[in-house]
Amino acid sequence: MRRYGKHTDEDDIRSRPNRRGNRPRTNIRPKHEDAAEGMVLTVDRGRLTCLVDGRTILAMKARELGRKAAVVGDQVALVGDLSGKKDTLARIVRIEKRSSVLRRTADDDDPYERVVVANADQLAIVTALADPEPRPRLIDRCLVAAFDGGLEPLLVMTKSDLAPPDKLLELYGDLDIPYVVTSREELESGGAADRVRTFLDGRVTAFVGHSGVGKTTLVNALVPEERRRVTGHVNAVTGRGRHTTTSALALPLASDGGWVVDTPGVRSFGLAHIDPSRVIHAFPDLEPGTEGCPRACSHDEPDCALDAWVADGHADPARLYSLRRLLATRERTEGD
Ligand SMILES: Nc1nc2c(ncn2[C@@H]2O[C@H](COP(=O)(O)OP(=O)(O)O)[C@@H](O)[C@H]2O)c(=O)[nH]1
Ligand SMILES: [Mg+2]
Ligand SMILES: [Zn+2]
């Protein structure tokens, strides 16, 4: 695991509670005590759009941050010109401790695993019921990434005007994951946004899924004006023309401090370093049964205590099947 100097590493969140908002304890940082706090809304070619005191400003990473990258959702400290006026550029001098990270895997164009979104509470896994066809293995990978990253999953099934949700609901019903089903008609009436919104209040929700499933359509229905406000500002300040769609984009919900994060079509997630115990944590009915397991049990081997746990009636066998299916997801190499 790579460390970046004395600064906190994103992986630390696995062993330490969320300290967002606390003053950092290292003695390097106080020189920026007067820095303003902000949140990264989007990143475009090295320029970070940040929300500071209700203003949208453009910033770049200060050299002192070294290789550590600020990503969408990061809480950051900024110095310099914070006016947000044309041709101004603030500097990000600190990235606050992250409460969660969502990583995507390396792909052909980019050999490094990268954090896509920081500090999300919830992962909305968006699947079209048709066009494109649902990909259960991609959903499984998203679920494992959510459990491992400390995000609560929400299944969003779109395009029910094209195909019914029955088969998918059968597949995921045992997992006790909240879900919503939406259609073209409900998008147009506003009903879809209203229903999805009930799952979002007060939280940071990252929308992920294969390209074409309807993420952007849904996010725009949830926050009708915000996208233009944020990306329009970026274009005006940088004069660079169209905002690229390669970065995630965080947009505030009107109601109560919740955020939605639209992401580009993510095909897969990094599952290489997943800790099975974190996945089991999402199965509280099974977790106590692992006490009788051999050390470093894969939970899919003859001595695993979970078979007896289920046979004794402590949990539904379908749940153990689901857990094993998700844990097996780690072994597969296909993206979807
Ligand atoms: N029939 C149908 N089409 C939808 C629905 N939601 C989105 N779409 C269409 O699906 C296409 C891809 O949507 P988009 O939001 O760009 O997907 P993204 O790549 O996941 O952001 C667009 O043509 C949308 O109009 C839906 O509920 N029903
Ligand atoms: Mg999109
Ligand atoms: Zn076991």
For 94-140, the pLDDT digits (tens) are 999 999 988 876 555 556 667 889 999 999 999 999 999 998 878 88
Domains in the chain: ranges and CATH: 36-95 (2.40.50.140), 114-231+239-262 (3.40.50.300), 276-330 (1.10.40)
Ligand 1 site, residue 169, Cβ cutoff 6 A:
no
- Phi-psi group of 209: left, alpha or beta (phi > 0 → left; psi -120 to 50 → alpha; rest → beta): left
Ligand 1 site, residue 265, Cβ cutoff 6 A:
yes
For residue 162, give the ligand nearest its CA: 1
Ligand 1 site, residue 217, Cβ cutoff 6 A:
yes
Kindly give the distance from the C-alpha atom of residue 217 to the centroid of ligand 2, in angstroms, as a whole number.
Answer: 7
pLDDT confidence of residue 165 = 95
The strand pair at 90-95 and 114-118 is best described as unpaired
What is the arithmetic mean of pLDDT over 158-163? 98
Helices (H), the chain: 136-149, 166-172, 184-189, 191-197, 215-222, 226-238, 276-280, 306-311, 317-329
Ligand 1 site, residue 182, Cβ cutoff 6 A:
yes
pLDDT confidence of residue 236 = 60
pLDDT confidence of residue 233 = 65
Ligand 1 site, residue 61, Cβ cutoff 6 A:
no
For residue 294, give the ligand nearest its CA: 3
Instruction: Give 122's contacts (C-beta < 8 A, 6+ positions apart).
Output: 151, 152, 153, 154, 199, 200, 203, 204, 205, 206
pLDDT of residue 27 exceeding 60: no
Instruction: Give 64's contacts (C-beta < 8 A, 6+ positions apart).
Output: 93
Are the beta carbons of 19 and 8 closer than 8 angstroms?
no
Amino acid occupying residue 128 = A
| pTM score | 0.81
pLDDT confidence of residue 122 = 97
Which of helix, strand or coil describes residue 325?
helix
Give 161-187 pLDDT, tens digit per residue.
Answer: 999 999 899 888 767 789 999 999 999
Looking at ligand 1, which residue's alpha carbon is closest to its atom 13? 214
pLDDT of residue 206 exceeding 90: yes
- Determine the longest span between alpha carbons in the chain, in angstroms: 68
Kindly give the distance from the C-alpha atom of residue 301 to the centroid of ligand 3, in angstroms, as a whole number.
Answer: 7
Which of helix, strand or coil describes residue 136?
helix
Kindly give the distance from the C-alpha atom of residue 259 to the centroid of ligand 2, in angstroms, as a whole number.
Answer: 16
Ligand 1 pocket test, candidate residues 217, 227, 267, most atoms within 8 A of CB: 217
Partnered with residue 44 across adjacent β-strands are: 47
Are the beta carbons of 84 and 53 closer than 8 angstroms?
no
Instruction: Give 333's contacts (C-beta < 8 A, 6+ positions apart).
Output: none
What is the arithmetic mean of pLDDT over 208-236? 83
Return the minimum-mean-pLDDT range out of 15-24, 145-154, 253-262: 15-24
Give 300-325 pLDDT, tens digit per residue.
Answer: 899 999 999 999 999 888 889 888 98
Cα separation, 143 vs 212, whole angstroms: 19
pLDDT confidence of residue 330 = 65
**How far out from the chain centre does Cα 113 lie?**
14
Ligand 1 site, residue 213, Cβ cutoff 6 A:
yes
Structure tokens at 149: 């990253």
Are the beta carbons of 189 and 158 closer than 8 angstroms?
no
Question: Across the chain, what does the average pLDDT equal?
Answer: 82
Kindly give the distance from the C-alpha atom of residue 266 to the centroid of ligand 2, in angstroms, as a whole number.
Answer: 10
pLDDT of residue 336 exceeding 50: no
For residue 182, give the ligand nearest its CA: 1
pLDDT confidence of residue 18 = 42
Cα separation, 200 vs 85, whole angstroms: 32
Give 63-92 pLDDT, tens digit per residue.
Answer: 988 888 899 999 999 999 999 888 899 999
Highest mean pLDDT among 19-23, 256-260, 275-279, 294-298: 294-298
Considering only residues 335 and 332, tell me which one the structure prediction assigns the higher pLDDT.
332
pLDDT confidence of residue 146 = 86
Atom of ligand 1 nearest to the CA of 186: 27
pLDDT confidence of residue 45 = 84
Confidence band for 294, pLDDT divided at 50, 70 and 90: very high
Ligand 1 site, residue 243, Cβ cutoff 6 A:
no
Ligand 1 site, residue 211, Cβ cutoff 6 A:
yes
pLDDT confidence of residue 264 = 84
Ligand 1 site, residue 238, Cβ cutoff 6 A:
no
- Phi-psi group of 283: left, alpha or beta (phi > 0 → left; psi -120 to 50 → alpha; rest → beta): beta
Considering only residues 26 and 299, tell me which one the structure prediction assigns the higher pLDDT.
299
pLDDT of residue 246 exceeding 90: no
Q: Which residues surround ligand 2, an ion (CB under 5 A)?
A: 215-216
pLDDT confidence of residue 150 = 83
